[in-house]
Amino acid sequence: MADKYTDFVSRGWGRDLAKRLGLPQPVALRRYEPGAPLVPGPVLLIGAGAGADALETALKGWDVEVVRDPAVVPADGGTHDAGASPASSASPAASAGSGRGGAAKLGGIVLALDTVARPEDLSAPILAAGRALRSLAPNARVVTVSRRSSTADEPALAAARAGVDGILRSLAKELRSGATGNGILLAEGVGADAPSALGALRFLLSGRSAFVDGQFVTVGTAKGERPGDPEKPLAGKVAVVTGAARGIGAAIARTLARDGAKVVVVDVPAAGDALAKVANEVRGTALQLDITKPEAGERILEHALGRHGALDILVHNAGVTRDKLLANMDAWRWDSVIAVNIAAQLRINDALLGSGRLGEGFRIVSVASTSGIAGNRGQTNYAASKAGVIGMVRSTAARLAPIGGTANAVAPGFIETEMTAKIPFATREVARRLNSLQQGGLPLDVAEAIAFLASDAAGGISGNVLRVCGQNLVGQ
């Protein structure tokens, strides 16, 4: 459903009126377009050491202009020429978002914080980033690269590492004009140049992460591969998407196919016509199937292997809602939600993992929900199922590790779908605005996150739950 309010306040007198009245002023988000620059301007890289140097090399390899000296970035926007180290003075990123005098606004800030050892170490890099915030272009990105805190860390080290969490999540709520802030957490022994660390950095800087804000991606191992063609990171893969006849599921199928995968779309027989339409659109195949049936896993495997010769990616998207206050909840509403949203996934996973017919690097990505993290009134059944999905992928990650596989979840917040379009107007408007980006996300935003987690570049990322919610204003 179109967000007419965002359209109204994005231009002309509507924008001026919203500003005078102090109303939310969401902006059109920068989303992925083939061939577009990775970021809308140069990137300020703050930090020192091998990690920062590796990040600079990667950024330049992506045709991004890199500035290493914060002093050359004036607080009123743009960059001075002195001290900059451009990858190419003619790069398209360098000419985007021009500020005063033709100087480029910053397309992003990357903070290499992987060597911080005490809370005092955070002062210089964080305050330097703060001075550069006014130089950010619309839809810019701020990304921290730091180490995951652990109970094995000595207290000062643990405090410094955990401090990055609070800094990043708070900063993300201060950014404006479609800019986002996210972080990458490196496990011990994983360098900033690990394939999945760089894969996560590229994803978080790009338009693919438009509705991901205030979140962390944990890179647990040095596994993963850099894609040969970043425009087709899923080339040669076979993916299955459940609940694919419409909405988010159809968007996932389209996005995986766009990225090069051969896609099998699955949905109930009653949705057969819509399912066939999606299959034809993505040049894949359709499987009409009730995923709650005991034989669902075997049928998915036989279809994928029989028609396409492999099964590399499974996206558990199928889900239902049966909302009711717990005091009025009946067994049918409760049991049907659990059956579709979590019990079916567990049974299908068991069938696939027990078959002995999966290849190396098998990926599972499940669609959870922010309701499974924070709860939601009238959704005890739905929240139970989606929290169950989160628990499932964290446990399944360990089962997949021996074959180099991964299991992750994506937790959408308010997404513009047929379901949310039926929410009463006032409630819908409040739900749309209660995040840092002040708008609802699109099914495409969920699909982009899933496509990244399904890629070889994310081979070192497993057991993660990545929220696609624009960062809810209350809590995380």
Tell me which residues are annotated as active site: 382
CA distance 328 to 322: 12
* Residue 337 near residue 292 (C-beta atoms within 8 A): no
- 297-301: long-range pairs with CB below 8 Å, 24+: 297/347, 297/348, 297/349, 297/350, 297/351, 297/352, 298/351, 298/355, 300/240, 300/264, 300/266, 300/348, 300/352, 301/351, 301/352, 301/355, 301/357
In the numeric block, which tokens belong to residue 186? Answer: 């490196």
Phi-psi region of 283 (alpha: psi -120 to 50; beta: other; left: phi over 0): left
CA distance 62 to 470: 26
CA distance 120 to 163: 10
Is the alpha carbon torsion for 291, 295, 300, 306 positive or negative?
negative
Residue 295 DSSP one-character state: T
Q: How many residues does the chain have?
A: 476
Q: Interior CA angle at 275 toward 273 and 280, to 5°?
A: 95
